[in-house]
Amino acid sequence: MALPRAAWIEARSTIQKLLSDDVTTLKGDPELRAKAIISQKNATMHLPAKIGDYTDFYSSIYHATNVGIMFRGKENALMPNWKWLPVGYHGRASSVIPSGTPVRRPRGQLKLEGATEPTYGASRLLDFELEMAFFVGGPATELGQPIPIENTEDHIFGMVLMNDWSARDIQAWEYVPLGPFLGKSFGTTISPWVVSMEALRPFMVANPEQDPAPLSYLAHSDPYTLDINLGVTIKPEGGEDHSVCKTSFKHLYWTLKQQLAHHTVNGCNVNPGDLMGSGTVSGPEEGAYGSMLELSWRGAKTIPVGDQTRKFLQDGDEVNLVGYCEKDGVRIGFGECRGKVLPAL
């Protein structure tokens, strides 16, 4: 990951050759094959890189509009800067965890409806956020040196699924004026398999039109996005997985290239292993909303989960994010991004 892009491509090509039918290096050597290939059921997955820094963007126009309508009304749904720059915030790298790690319901300050003062307690409005993220690759950049948008592909290594767990009640009270803090920093789950950008190239599609036209440092000649099918299931305690939403990564307004170009335009340096989240991926229809905040419309509706319903997550619920690309009979999966909610301490 820390090597130049040419090394990523060479490594992928070498692995493909070793696993191909007409190369006998592994196929014809059972002893070597036993050392090189481990059954997935016998493997314990870890974080795919040492994550030094983590940034989360807010790149879905549908998600941003929905949340804006809920809290500010239709006339002020999008903030004036939203279509001019990829909004983001600096997250907490220490609490990024691999799929399968339980997540403890957080405690914090809550300001209940009608109350004049906050109280301290466990979050009552625990939510998932359906996201994807990319790992920064290549040699570390120098402080003060932006990455021009035409060079960003040299620093976008590959992608994972990401669940940016969110405590909506803690977040609502704390976020003014500096943004998310304790409502986000208690846990972020990612899938352990990094799908390389080379593997995703066949699934590139045109990016949605951007109006107004981006400023020059955000303008690129090939404004593509990726057609990645995404979904979320919830498994109640003792139950089975039930689908609650399906959407696509292609609905995002801001591209990966624009996110990285904007992140570094002020001279901020990045390192291999840095994680960049997309923000909640929501589509135009209700069933394509990527959070319970939207699916329940801030708790005004119930969400069917098998023979049960939810407005927000309950203790014992297990959330799983899934993603895959499919075209011309070829399917590439991202694995699982799963986490179970444990009671607050």
Query: Was 131 annotated as part of a binding site?
Result: yes
Query: Was 188 annotated as part of a binding site?
Result: yes
Which residues are within 8 A (CB) of 20 and not within 5 positions of it... i.e. 6 or more apart? none
Catalytic residue status for 46: no
Query: Was 75 annotated as part of a binding site?
Result: no
Q: Is 310 strand, coil or helix?
A: strand
Query: Was 184 annotated as part of a binding site?
Result: yes
Query: Under a CB-based contact definition with an 8 Å cutoff, are residues 244 and 232 in contact?
Result: yes
Query: Was 56 annotated as part of a binding site?
Result: yes
Residue 345, judged by CB atoms within 10 A of its CB (0-12, 13-18, 19+), counts as exposed
Active-site residue among 46, 63, 220, 263?
63
Query: Under a CB-based contact definition with an 8 Å cutoff, are residues 54 and 95 in contact?
Result: no
Query: Was 111 annotated as part of a binding site?
Result: no
Per-residue burial over 15-49, b = 16 or more CB atoms within 10 Å of its CB, e = otherwise: eeeeeeeeeeebeeeeeeeeeeeeeeeeeeeeebb
Query: Was 311 annotated as part of a binding site?
Result: no
- CA dist 270 to 90, 144, 253, 263, 285, Å? 13, 11, 23, 9, 36
* DSSP line for 39-56: -GGGPPP--SS----EEE
How far is residue 126's CA from residue 146's CA, in Å, rounded to a whole number? 37
Query: Under a CB-based contact definition with an 8 Å cutoff, are residues 260 and 135 in contact?
Result: no
The tokens of 237 are what? 């305690």
* Continuous segment of H or E residues that includes residue 190: strand 188-190
* Sign of the dihedral through C-alpha 169, 173, 175, 180: negative
Residue 240, judged by CB atoms within 10 A of its CB (0-12, 13-18, 19+), counts as exposed
Per-residue burial over 327-342, b = 16 or more CB atoms within 10 Å of its CB, e = otherwise: eeeeebebbbbbbbbe
Among the listed residues 335, 343, 344, 345, the one whose alpha carbon sits nearest the alpha carbon of residue 100 = 335
Instruction: For the chain, give percent helix, strand, coil, nearest 5.
Output: 25, 30, 45
Rg (CA), the chain: 21
Where in the sequence numbering do the catalytic residues fall? 63
Binding site per annotation, positions for Ca(2+): 56, 129, 131, 164
Binding site per annotation, positions for substrate: 58, 72, 171, 175, 280
Binding site per annotation, positions: 56, 58, 72, 129, 131, 164, 171, 175, 184, 188, 280
